[in-house]
Amino acid sequence: MYTLLSGLYKYVFQKDEYCILILGLDNAGKTTFLEQSKTRFNKHYRGMSLSKITTTVGLNIGTVDVGKTRLMFWDLGGQEELQSLWDKYYAECHGVIYVIDSTDEERLSESKRAFEKMVTSEALEGVPILVLANKQDVETCLSIPDIKTAFSDCTSKIGRRDCLTQACSALTGKGVNEGIEWMVKCVVRNLHRPPRQRDIT
C-alpha cells in the first residue's frame, strides 16, 4: 500500500527536474534566450524587457515546466575569464544549449574554440547538445550551413550523443519552443543521467 501511495504522490506532486547549461560567448544572446523561454513556457511569468538585458557576470538561473518535466537552466557568463568556470557545472547537468551569435563572424573562431573545449570534456560524455545559431532575424547573419562549415572540425569530437544545430532568434522567439521541446525529448530518453525529483511548487 505504501508503494502505491508513494508512486501516486510522485505522479501528482513531483516533477522530473533536469539541469540545462546555457553556454556561449558573451553577447551571444544566452540570457535573452532564457528570458524568452521563461515567458513562453511559464504562464504567469512577467519577464524583464529583452532590450534591457546586459552581459551576465556569473550565473542566471531559471526554470521552465514542459508537462511533467522541469528544466532548470543555468545561464553562465561567456567572457573568456568566466569560461574556466563552465566545467564546474558539467557533472551535474543533463544537457547543454550552446548559443552562437550568427551576426558576429569575427568571433566565430573564438566561439568554435570554446565549443570544442566544452564538447571534448569527459564530464559531458553522452549529454545532449543543442547548438543555437542565434540572431537569425538579422539580414546579414551567417546561415546554418555557414556555421556548420565553420564548426566542421568539431563534428568528429561530438561523439555518441544527441546533437542538433538550429536557427533561432531569441529576440523574436523564433526557434525557441522547438529548441526547448527537442531538449526535453533528449534528456528524458538519456538513461545515463537520471532526473532529480522535485516537489511541484
User: pLDDT by residue (tens digit) across 121-175?
Assistant: 999 999 999 999 999 999 999 999 999 999 999 988 888 899 999 999 999 999 9
Mean pLDDT value of segment 3-9 = 50
- 71 in a labelled binding site: no
- 59 in a labelled binding site: no
pLDDT of residue 49: 63
Mean pLDDT value of segment 37-65 = 75
- 135 in a labelled binding site: yes
- 47 in a labelled binding site: no
**CB 186, CB 131: distance < 8 Å:** no
pLDDT of residue 3: 56
pLDDT of residue 197: 73
pLDDT of residue 44: 75
- At residue 2, what is the residue type? Y
pLDDT bin (cut points 50, 70, 90) of residue 102 is: very high
- 148 in a labelled binding site: no
- 83 in a labelled binding site: no
Question: 137 vs 197, which has greater pLDDT?
Answer: 137
User: pLDDT by residue (tens digit) across 18-33?
Assistant: 999 999 999 999 999 9
Question: Residue 197 catalytic?
Answer: no
pLDDT of residue 15: 87
pLDDT bin (cut points 50, 70, 90) of residue 14 is: confident
- 28 in a labelled binding site: yes
Question: 153 vs 14, which has greater pLDDT?
Answer: 153
The mean pLDDT of the chain is: 88
pLDDT bin (cut points 50, 70, 90) of residue 191 is: confident
User: pLDDT by residue (tens digit) across 55-93?
Assistant: 655 688 999 999 989 999 999 999 988 898 999 999 999
pLDDT bin (cut points 50, 70, 90) of residue 5 is: very low
DSSP string for residues in 132-169:
EEE-TTSTTPPPHHHHHHHTGGGGGGS-SS-EEEEE-B
CATH tag for 15-191 (out of 3.40.50.300, 2.40.160.40, 3.40.50.10490, 3.40.50.720): 3.40.50.300
Q: What ranges do the domains of the chain cover?
A: 15-191
Rounded Cα distance between 116 and 122, Å, is: 12
The rounded radius of gyration (Å) of the Cα atoms in the chain is: 17
- Longest pairwise C-alpha distance within the chain: 63
Catalytic position from the list 79, 83, 166, 197: 79
